[in-house]
Structure 1
Amino acid sequence: MATSYIETEDGPCCPICLEQLIVPRQLPCTHTFCEKCLQSHITTEAVKHTKLNYIKCPVCRSSASPAIKDRPSSEWASLFPVNTVFQSFLPAKTKVDRFCDACRNEDAAVPAEGFCVICKDAMCGDCLKYHRKQNMSKDHAILSLEELECNPENVMKLAEGFTCLEHHGEDIKYYCKDHNIPCCATCFFEGHKICAKVIDLKKELPALLSECIPDEIMNDMNKIENHLKKFMEMNEAFVNSLEPHVNRMADQIREVRKKINSLLDQLEKNVKTEGIRIYKEVVLKKQEENHQCLSLFHSVKNSHYLLETVQKHGSNLQKFLMMEKMKSHLHSYCTLVEEKYKKIDTITVEVQFSSTIQSILSDSLSELGKVVTTTSSITLPLRCSLRSTKEPTAERVDVIDLKVPTDHPPWYSSLTFLPGDRLMLDDYNNDQCILLSSSYQFITSHTLTGQPWNICVLDDQEVAVSLYNQNKIQILSVIGDIIRPIRMITTKYNCNGIAAAGKGEMVVNGYCGNNKSQWSLINMRGDVKCTHQYDSPSNNFMHIALNNMKTRVYVSSIMNSLVCFDMDGRKQFTYGSEILRDPRGISVDRYDNIYVVGWKTNNIHQLSPDGSVLQVKSSGLPKSPYAICIHKSKEILIITSYSVERTKLHMYQLT
């Protein structure tokens, strides 16, 4: 290959164009791109959606919105903040022109001359003079542009405290352990006031910092970088070694040519053409793989670079917040590596000749010979200390007998944890959903218009409930101890399983006739974005779940199996077992391990993210286990039963 994919130049690179960053714009997930590259991505998304409210990060697919949402999407990239840490390491010709923030508020573009460390604002000369004259700001530390050049320590002073990327200008003051995210005061009051574990960073930062392990995170970043480098190098080496195989085919034809007639001349021509076609296809495929791999490599390297800089020069608050963010990045990087860059497909090519005289003398060219390809895979192991190869064991810790007023014996067909550790259950037999406190005591119930089948959390205040045999999804608001209906969504087929797929979208599945079922990605209005069908017997009680990155869909009870699809509908794996009959509830832990309940076999099957079985638990379970839910941060697993124990919740600790 003419050029290597492995860049030797130091410094952060853009994961889109794979070149050195120019005007580095940072999304809330901290992934950083060139302003022009980011704007190109936004423009592409705007073409796909008639009304664009947010974009998804090109690397981790997390949602991001600009600070000023009513501006046209053609200006969004410039509204995301500049990554000052990366900016400080870039050469002068790639740096962004900084303008006075105060003047920009009045639509005037005046070049900045300095930065206020306290106010976090860039200022022109006139504004700096006025700033120094004010009593409230006269003692503020001011940094000149020259003091920021290639000086990460000064950059970290400017970024001290890390302001909230959702609520511009507000400092990070809290950390929600329920959701593993930092919060400003507005974040806290809008979405985390009822959460059980919200920590005041000012009081508890030293203790939290002592629990962090930056060396392990950076070590794992190194491992991922090296893994991606190895993947690209092996792809490059494979492409280089493929050409001699193609040339060898022509040599084989020349040896045979001595014994056969003009048909073999035609065969040689066709084999050469086919070999060159395969070679070009493989080269293009491998180049594309390496391009995508290099994009991820730069993202990992940039994250590593950012974390290392914060560890060297940042405050304790910055170190803690950055490490928490990098833990999330590390998890997503490992998931992407395991899904895309763990196996390398190799192809061998050879000429396959017929073995009889009749074939050689045949007038049919296809009977003389053809080009065959053989594909095999080489697995590259990835071992990260913070990315679990963990196989949690479920140990029962409690059985909770619910005291819920009902007209008929309940059947809890689905359950889910809400913010604040509360629990919501679907009671299929009594057409209602039930809200429990964090100590699993009954709070209230809400009567639905039909039998609820599955439930999922959409955001901090809304849940969705599928209504069996009604082709409807009920959206409910859960604020405090009050449940209110908001709207009803109508689907085109019977909706069984339902799962939140990210901001404003859900995945739903159900039977659609002719021994076919399907799952669809829909928005909150019920508009279908994509649909994928698969073989499935009728009257199949299906459940559905997604992995943590929302890139995989798991469907249970397909011919006594669990099937995994990617978001494009391609089947990734199928898990079935003689000791798995009528699989029902599915849940995923924080490590993307999959738990599926065997209703008729009285067991739980724990699978790894790639679908291999880790363990099957049958002891200590209730008879006929049905629904399952995992609290990811507390690592608590709860199961309901379709038996005489149907009023009880069985709680297990994942150890």
Structure 2
Amino acid sequence: MTTEDKEFICGPCDYLQTPKTAVVWCPTCEEGLCHDCSVHHIAGKLTRDHKPINIDHYKEMPRKMIEEVKKCLKHDEIYELYCQNHKTHCCVQCVKEIHARCTGVTLLRQVIENIKTSAMVTEIMQELENRMGGLVKLTENRKKNVDRIDKQSSNLCTEFRRMRKAIESVLDEFESALNEEATSVKNTQSSKVNNSIDKIGAQKSVYKELHSNLQKVIAYGNNLQVYLAVKTIEEKLNRGDKELESLLKTASGFQEINVAFECNEHLSSLLTKNVKPGMVRTSCSPLKCEFKTPHGKEAQISSTNTGTTVSKLKIKTYVQTFQAHLSLSLDSSKTNISSIVPLPSGQTVITDYGGQQGVMLFHRNGSFNTRFNNLGSPYGACLIGDSVLAVSFPCNNNIKLLEIVESTCSILNIFRIKQSCYGLSFNSAGNIVAASAEPDNGIIVVGLNGQILKRVNLNLPMIRNVHCYRDKIIVTEFESTEILVFDPEGRKVITHTFNWEPDTRNICVDKHGNIFVCALNTEKVTVIPNDGNIRVDVLEPDDRLHIPKAIAYDKRTNTIAVAGRDGLFSAIYDIFYN
């Protein structure tokens, strides 16, 4: 917003109640001057070093930027001082309350005396130009993407028609070969049946001749001759019946022969309405056009909470092995630890997606307490209250709310999601965020009443783990080397890529914003610092860490808990902050 629509009155004339329109503006006195007053202003001993500007130029300046931010929002006083320690401007009250012990508090007007030619202004102008240039490139990149989408979309049908012609050509060849095969089958099988007809005809001729001969013997022979003829015919009938019975059992010509076309199952599936021969699929990848937004120096210096980075951590580890009677009952081929949740009570919950142990509960010292294995095969778990957990059961397509008190577990509610949900997290809005593969390939947000509030497709068909931190959603895929960070609308914010063999597993974030991730195959726990420094492997196989699958941050003790498996054994590792 500018001041161009405002009429400015000469300050001195207005004071004398003879208002005149201002033609210049004195930035030092912060008032307008008419022509006559401006002449006296320039000539006056106390004001001759002031540098008035044309009133039209003043009107072009944004009002908010030059007027409304002059005062401290907290104390409603003019900014008059500058703290060298914190590199920030302040009012008198700010100095008393915040900067009383700071050295180097000086007058703001002295600090900004030559600001127009200072490096600060030069740098910010350069930053703005860089941003504008970056946005121009980004716009060009997006326009090219639109053109590419247009071309690729147009090519879809062209490509399908090409594939269709190729398929028709193959089908024509197959039809020709099928016709030859059908003719061969017809000739072979018809020959077998015709051969059986010939045998039947021959036998029929024998019976016809016997019938005729018997009629003649009956008409002209004596009783003995008739008797002997009948006996002869009976013998021949018995012998003929046996021969015919043998033919009916063994000869291929005496079977019901049918010829039919059996369609290949892959081709048959294409002929059904429910199966599409293909689909239009979109894929996303990071921008090839970089748009850097570095943090300003002032913002970094004036921040009162910079967080604790990895360089400020002193890490200690110790192993808490589960009691032998549990370890011996674990079948490593069927046990699949998928999540770990430290409870406010000091106990720890670990889920076994393998289905053998279910939801396992451990004491403060890491020893086994009890298991709840009649719930199904749990995958993800997150704390939504002091003693209430949300636990996902992908095989059952539901999420259960469990209340765990001491050694008991009660089902408070069952949310029938009707799709597989894996990793769970609890966001700042008080809702459950679940990693869901088909059909979402992203996340779903579920209210505590079980209603699905939102679906965000991230184009990640193998998504398994999710963690919410402030307004960010951090996810990993199965057999991946990346950690992906999205905003609540599904826009990718950043990608962290690791030079290890795939398999990032579960993730968590501590109170300082440092991201911890389990690497299953390399058997490491790595931290991505909040300040962008070099990543650090905080736990490795030498620390007796084997097959790490689940990780969680415990706010109560300010530690990281990791669940892994060493043969038949499991362990919890804690990372202590200095």
TM-score norm. by structure 2 comes to: 0.48
- Structure in which a larger fraction of residues adopt strand: 1
Which has more radius of gyration? 2
Question: TM-score with structure 1 length normalisation?
Answer: 0.43
